[in-house]
A and B are shown apart, each in its own frame.
Chain A
Amino acid sequence: QKEVEQNSGPLSVPEGAIASLNCTYSDRVSQSFFWYRQYSGKSPELIMSIYSNGDKEDGRFTAQLNKASQYVSLLIRDSQPSDSATYLCAVNNGGGGGFKTIFGAGTRLFVKA
């Protein structure tokens, strides 16, 4: 079983719609959760971090965490063509001194103008 699992996509949404990206993880003791965005040919950059159950909103982005279901999601409201990228889910269980963050393979998002 993969430690961090994401649908590879591509997920295609029209401009202005809500894009919903999902991620499941296998380690129940995971404590820290991150969403990174990676444009083609570029390196990952942090979009959101979330540490407790519930929703966390930052502009057009909302991260949702459900530790009981081992599920974390990212919602992008009013999607723009510039949001087209690969979104990486990352999970840290605090083990190994806290430095071992496990990444999913990413979901490719395509926003159609």
Chain B
Amino acid sequence: ETGVTQTPRHLVMGMTNKKSLKCEQHLGHNAMYWYKQSAKKPLELMFVYSLEERVENNSVPSRFSPECPNSSHLFLHLHTLQPEDSALYLCASSPGTSDLLVQYFGPGTRLTVT
């Protein structure tokens, strides 16, 4: 266990549904990340929050909406997704300063959009 948990672990949703992914870190880190991992493609950074402020928004479609209510919790709200959004969504955290960039990943949520 890395100290980063994600729920749910698996999610199947229709294109008209609204769902949320949850991430929680128990490491006292200041930065949290959302990544998308599709087969045969590199990890794609989606969002970064540092001290609850969004510091990176990597041209992600508006159907993905992040929320960071505090430094331990991160959400990804999903609505009107497309089948090509099916992927593994990984949350990660890091201590947050520029010299401490090692990221600790959660187990991921396997998302299938039907």
Whole-angstrom CA separation of A113 from B102 in the bound complex: 32
Query: Are A8 and B50 in contact, with the CB atoms below 8 A?
Result: no
Q: Is the CB of B43 within 8 A of A100?
A: no
B44 nearest CB across to chain A (Å)? 8
Which 5 pairs across A and B sit closest by C-beta, in order of nearness? Answer: A98-B98, A43-B105, A103-B43, A99-B48, A105-B42
Chain A nearest CB: distance from B73 CB in Å? 18
**Which of chain B's residues have a CB closer than 8 A to the CB of A43?**
2, 90, 105-108
B103 close to chain A: CB less than 8 A? yes
Interface residues of A (CB under 8 A from B): 4, 8, 32, 34, 42-46, 49, 88, 92, 94, 96-106
Binding site of A, secondary structure by majority: helix, strand, loop or mixed? mixed
Chain B interface helix/strand/loop/mixed: loop
Q: Find out whether the CB atom of B102 lies under 8 angstroms from the CB atom of A49.
A: yes
The answer to whether B43 and A88 touch across the interface, beta carbons within 8 angstroms, is: yes
Complex contact A96–B43 (CB within 8 A): no
Question: How far is A87 from B106 in the complex, measured between Cα atoms in Å?
Answer: 17
Q: Is the CB of A99 within 8 A of B42?
A: no
Q: A32-B101, A99-B31 are in contact. List 7 more A-B contacts (CB 8 A).
A: A34-B102, A43-B90, A43-B106, A44-B90, A101-B101, A103-B42, A104-B42
